[in-house]
Amino acid sequence: MKRLLGILAALLVVTACSTNKGGYTSADQVSDRLVGMTISHVVKVLGAPTESIDLGDAGRSITYRADTAGVTGGNCRISLMVQGGVITSANVFSSDRSFVSFPMGGCEALIRQLD
């Protein structure tokens, strides 16, 4: 019984821990934070994008990708639409490797400084 309680306590601690400065625990929270930010601020916080495509009058599509190794990592893709230097939409996908990396462990490398 003590062992089971110890495992449950450890699980609660792991799931309560945040993997990022802003404490984001879902893709929607990250997406909501990014929309409205300037692209210069996003680049300052997230770093250089993996991919950037000029869409002419429609603006620019910018994608960040990360693949964090280990049990606490995962895969992450953040796709941004930029118009007039401002993020107008954001799509965030995080695929965590295990329950240890939950929540947003796949995106930790990208969003760790996002406040």
The amino acid at residue 25 is T
pLDDT tens digits for range 39-49: 999 999 999 99
Task: Tell me what the mean pLDDT of segment 73-88 comes to.
Answer: 94
Please state the pTM of the whole predicted model: 0.77
Instruction: Quote the mean pLDDT of the chain.
Output: 83
User: Rounded CA gap, 30 and 10, in Å?
Assistant: 26
pLDDT tens digits for range 33-73: 999 999 999 999 999 999 999 999 999 999 999 987 777 67
Of the CA atoms within 13 Å of residue 42, those in its CB half-sphere come to: 24
**Residues in CB range of 101: below 8 A, 6 or more apart:** 19, 68, 71, 72, 73, 74, 108
